[in-house]
Chains A and B, each alone.
Chain A
């Protein structure tokens, strides 16, 4: 079963990379071939948000139960989320360079992801500044929740400050998916593939962190 999952992840992502780079793309005004980045950029952003939400969820569970397993899960999810967040930032700013002329322009979308990166960074900084495992788990969970709870404000604040130049989200305000069918298929496959990849790596990461914890607690 496990093997089948791993091979599927490999095959799906290989297909997506091939299709995303090689297959022709419909002509989109002002974007052209540059639109190909969405196959990779959007799944990365999606996963960094999913990972952060999972990490928050486990933080709440930890505070409720005080079961250290939840903290290990929360920590693993946030570490992977951080990685995907960096990838999303990198793919995004690469695209920005070619479309907007510079890698970084403080577009509202860029600002939002910058703040998510900052929260991750602060969370890791806090964890490394606390010695006791229980305190580390408790305080970082509290911080993750406080930070997570203030994030949604950006949704209301950003549009008031600057107009974004970021292309419409895949499902835009009018609720329509405006994507060519062939593109949509590649995109959805990519979303599936990367999400599967994320959960696969997350599973390994969690097990690894769990073993690390066991070893450190048995060393007395």
Chain B
């Protein structure tokens, strides 16, 4: 049983000299779930991107441990799933092609299509899997992003505004995935939605770090 944990210390992000947030420190280990809250524009997405390694903090450190051993971010990346409004998949590829591409990039051995199809079944896109993503509605795109995040069975699942554009069945799936994640690893949600708050046990309020 893998036991990934994240340790952040004094994460600070400045943009053109303006402080977005400062001194955010937290620790999360396998089984933990945290919600990041704050006003619109308070830097929730920025913090999420920093944790996902897409952007770097202006100062502060972040490290990952596995069973007490330090692991390089390079290796964490392969066990990380991320849904974000600032992350799009390729419009001109079909759902299955997108998943094939990213699962190939993430893992050594190319996963068979069965695994990918079952992810699409889970999110309810299986019968449209061969259509180009540009023909999808925004809710379907969101579902595909969730499927993308679930590739390679992430130990760290990060959901930034996961509910956006989802219909009722999509929300149920999302909540089920979130519940399952708590049994398998770490879950982080950035949101202001009351229902999301209930999903998580810890809370990081960005407003307290201005």
User: Contact check: which of A132, A134, A216, A220 meets B19 at CB < 8 Å?
Assistant: A220
Query: For the complex, is A65 an interface residue (Cβ under 8 Å from B)?
Result: no
Give A136's nearest chain B residue, CB to CB. B16
Query: For the complex, is A100 an interface residue (Cβ under 8 Å from B)?
Result: no
Bound state CA distance, A213 and B16, in angstroms? 9
0/1 per residue, A109-136, Cβ < 8 Å to B? Answer: 0000000000000000000000111100
CB distance from B183 to the nearest CB of A (A): 39
Query: For the complex, is A217 an interface residue (Cβ under 8 Å from B)?
Result: yes
Contacts of B58 in A (CB 8 A): 134
0/1 per residue, A191-220, Cβ < 8 Å to B? Answer: 000000000000000000000010011111
Category for how many chain B residues contact A? under 10
Query: For the complex, is B15 an interface residue (Cβ under 8 Å from A)?
Result: yes
Query: For the complex, is B18 an interface residue (Cβ under 8 Å from A)?
Result: yes
Query: For the complex, is B17 an interface residue (Cβ under 8 Å from A)?
Result: yes
Bound state CA distance, A195 and B76, in angstroms? 51
Category for how many chain A residues contact B? 10 to 19
Contacts of B19 in A (CB 8 A): 220
Bound state CA distance, A21 and B52, in angstroms? 65
Tally the A-B contacts, defined by beta carbons under 8 Å.
Answer: 21
Give B59's nearest chain A residue, CB to CB. A66
CB distance from A35 to the nearest CB of B (A): 50
Query: For the complex, is B14 an interface residue (Cβ under 8 Å from A)?
Result: yes
CB distance from A20 to the nearest CB of B (A): 45
CB distance from A113 to the nearest CB of B (A): 34
Q: Which of B16-64 contact A (CB under 8 A)?
A: 16-19, 58
Verify B17–A131 contact, CB threshold 8 A: no
Contacts of B17 in A (CB 8 A): 133, 213, 216-218, 220
Q: Which of A136-174 contact B (CB under 8 A)?
A: none
Bound state CA distance, A28 and B116, in angstroms? 82
Bound state CA distance, A174 and B62, in angstroms? 58
Contacts of A134 in B (CB 8 A): 14-16, 58
Contacts of A133 in B (CB 8 A): 16-17
Bound state CA distance, A115 and B15, in angstroms? 34
Bound state CA distance, A219 and B17, in angstroms? 9
Most chain A beta-carbon neighbours within 10 Å: one of B14, B16, B18, B19: B16
Contacts of B15 in A (CB 8 A): 132, 134
Contacts of A220 in B (CB 8 A): 17-19
CB distance from B93 to the nearest CB of A (A): 29
Give A215's nearest chain B residue, CB to CB. B17
Bound state CA distance, A133 and B17, in angstroms? 7
Contacts of A131 in B (CB 8 A): 16
Bound state CA distance, A61 and B183, in angstroms? 45
Q: Which of B49-103 contact A (CB under 8 A)?
A: 58
Bound state CA distance, A72 and B139, in angstroms? 46
Bound state CA distance, A217 and B14, in angstroms? 9
0/1 per residue, B3-23, Cβ < 8 Å to A? Answer: 000000000001111110000
Give A131's nearest chain B residue, CB to CB. B16
Contacts of A132 in B (CB 8 A): 15-16
Contacts of A213 in B (CB 8 A): 17
Besides A134-B16, A213-B17, A217-B16, 4 new A-B residue pairs in contact (Cβ under 8 A), listed by A number: A132-B16, A134-B58, A217-B18, A219-B18
A-B contact pairs, 21 of them (CB 8 A): A131-B16, A132-B15, A132-B16, A133-B16, A133-B17, A134-B14, A134-B15, A134-B16, A134-B58, A213-B17, A216-B16, A216-B17, A217-B14, A217-B16, A217-B17, A217-B18, A218-B17, A219-B18, A220-B17, A220-B18, A220-B19
